[in-house]
Chain A
């Protein structure tokens, strides 16, 4: 039987106007059999999405051949059949919705195939129930949450009954529960025989595939099982190992019984041995705490969008929060829990509908508030940088706030130091066109634009979403140095694993309420602590709990992997002494 997908020596270049062509893929050879589950990984700009688009004939190779069941994508007569067989879910689900009503959007694809009404209705019913949207049938598509929009995008593709599904960084903007749901759906479809191609930045997801293809600068550099791929030195090309694998490598010197082929969290946790040595616990070095001085104080905030219309929904519900000067304060919670709404209150973009809010002692309920001087001291960087950048050139974009609100020293120096703070070279980037920037560069530009007035508080809305592992690590490093320099950082995030150890305090939001707050150590270890749906404790906390279950005298309350390793090292060293 012929392979589902066959790529022979395919190359592809983008041809931007008035610029050199950009080589996206070079001499790709690839065979994919029916029923495989494949992850495609690679840094930003390595050609992952381009590869996906070659497969359903959205792009045609400049040279070489792409065949789907022997149908050549160069023949336009094959396109309808190819696109029915190969479905694609894109990174921004809201951009692939064609109709204003959920059910009608799901019917768009089958309608294009010219199917009879009965068959379309059957398929719509099937697709909506498979993606859990049956109750949303007659809702307006533009008022769905991010996770729901994602499910609608999936439903639209499922209604086509495809043989192969391509997920193009589908999970980038979702919270952990949303990501897990997408992965579960992919697995369920795979069990039913659908071929799955999962393009992702998250190595934990890639580790769950049967086969991993690694792209680097448009070339396939590895194509093997996840165990083999992740035991290579993939850090060299801007990727990272799945956390469980990295942790097992660090633990093995102290726990030699750990097998070498650990890939998932479950693997690792099942192999932690029982400890029967000395039970005296080493005490973790206490983090130096500065006295708590509130800089933002909110009491009983409530906010309802679309107030007074049949579509109103409450985003904040009687929420109180206090944020300390110089702290890094994390807001965690599922999508739709009110994090963005809360952040937009802190610089006066949204005004409290009820309750009080003061920042630097300024009363934000005051109608005559001097918003300019407030915003000079409170920078805000939004979710999805591409929606907040509005200038043509990077330099102008970053200078905007300084021109509007003032700056210290010359404008050039203000822009330059803001760019340096996030690792953008002034000369190389100031005249770059903003629409040519990659995901990581866009994020840095957005951060620099908020930093240019040298604010005292920086508000960050999902600053780590959609970044590849290398950029994520670098951006977290910048936050750490800003925090060390005394800046107050308030950041909302789903992906808090790498940064949680830096945080002084965490608030957990659910349905617009602050359901738990305190030091990160207490949040994830309190006996009665119940994390709201959509959230998971950090990996280090879970590892810590498993060690303790196995009688390791590891103190509770560690949220950083490096600290857990230190403790294990200490315990084994004592046992030997």
Chain B
């Protein structure tokens, strides 16, 4: 039973510190390349393109040495919904008047257009999931922040304070697991003194009545922690005004360039080849 393990349900930044060619790439190459690939897969509507996308995303998973079982497990929770939507696609996709039904079940006729639409949906979903898994497992939050920081640097010249924006993202991400842990502690404390946290049946009103006493102390506790953190940040030399530096220097090498070109060409191929 893990009803009080809130952290387990927080999946943001499931970074897997593996040593693979993909992990070693410059974050800028990954951010730009993967963004275009995701865009291409999202808008492409051609069966052959999506098959190509699935092949490429499988290749990416293999290249980043992510255990295949880990990648596929992400597919399982939404699978029932996917099957439902795919079934609907099968049935309700409009078809050309001239086309003949491929087969019929009871009084429902299935046309080839429906089968193709359902296939496209499943292919699109599977390749998007694999691509996103590759990206989040191979790009740590800090690489993402540093990468975005470097990409946004031109804006800094125009006077936009991107440096602090990146720190803000970092602190927000740092607080997510802490909020989950704080909520867990308060809920446990309330439950062990008789709050009915573990009885699942209850109407909406009683659920809301349960949440309010959790949220208020959660905020006061978290504000206190935020205050402690800001004190500690000052003590650790944070001044806000001066430019911070990073321990990483990213050099965009030939390898990064080749990888980025590969992803961009693949994205173009998915969009325009077929």
**Chain A residues proximal to chain B, CB less than 8 Å:** 53, 56, 58, 79-80, 83-84, 87-88, 90, 92, 94-101, 103-104, 107-117, 120-121, 124, 138, 140-143, 156-157, 160, 305-307, 309-310, 344, 347-351, 353, 371-372, 375-376, 379-380, 382, 386-391, 400-401, 403-405, 435, 449-450, 453
Contact = CB atoms under 8 A, between A and B. Distances in A.
Given A97-B174, A388-B189, 14 more contacts: A98-B233, A111-B246, A138-B17, A141-B174, A306-B5, A306-B8, A309-B8, A353-B1, A386-B221, A388-B186, A390-B186, A390-B190, A404-B194, A435-B220
B195 interface: yes
- Name the residue among B2, B141, B214, B228 with the largest chain A CB count within 10 angstroms: B2
A90 B154 CA distance: 39
A303 to B, nearest CB: 9
Contact of A349 (B192, B242, B243): B192
A291 to B, nearest CB: 30
Interface of B: 1-2, 4-5, 7-8, 13-17, 70, 140-142, 170-171, 173-174, 177-178, 181-182, 185-186, 188-196, 198, 213-214, 216-217, 220-221, 224-225, 228-229, 231-239, 242-249
B217 A96 contact: no
Contact of B225 (A53, A95, A112): A95
Question: Which of B194, B229, B238: most chain A CB closer than 10 A?
Answer: B194
Contact of B228 (A90, A140, A306, A449): A90
B7 A306 contact: yes
A108 B174 contact: no
A381 to B, nearest CB: 9
Contacts, number: 189
Nearest to A120: B247
Contacts of A87: 235
A350 to B, nearest CB: 7
Contacts of B171: 98
A372 B228 contact: no
Given A104-B142, A107-B247, A309-B8, A372 B194 contact: yes
A389 B178 CA distance: 17
B247 A100 contact: no
Interface SS, B side: helix
B246 A88 contact: no
20 contacts: A58-B234, A95-B229, A96-B233, A97-B174, A98-B229, A98-B238, A100-B174, A114-B245, A117-B247, A120-B247, A141-B174, A142-B178, A306-B7, A375-B193, A379-B192, A386-B224, A387-B189, A390-B186, A400-B194, A450-B193
Given A84-B237, A138-B17, A382 B185 contact: yes
Nearest to B140: A101
B236 A157 contact: yes
A405 B194 contact: yes
4 closest cross-chain pairs (CB), A and B: A404-B194, A96-B232, A390-B217, A401-B193
Contacts of B234: 58, 83
A50 B170 CA distance: 29
B194 A160 contact: no
Contacts of B8: 305-307, 309
Nearest to A101: B142
Contacts of B173: 100
Indicate the member of B13, B70, B216, B244 with the most A CB atoms within 10 Å: B244
Given A107-B246, A349-B4, A56 B239 contact: no
Nearest to B248: A117
Given A371-B198, A376-B194, A142 B249 contact: no
A182 to B, nearest CB: 17
Contacts of B191: 349, 371, 375
Contacts of A94: 178
B247 A124 contact: yes
Contact of B188 (A84, A141, A160, A344): A344
Nearest to A159: B236
A14 B136 CA distance: 46
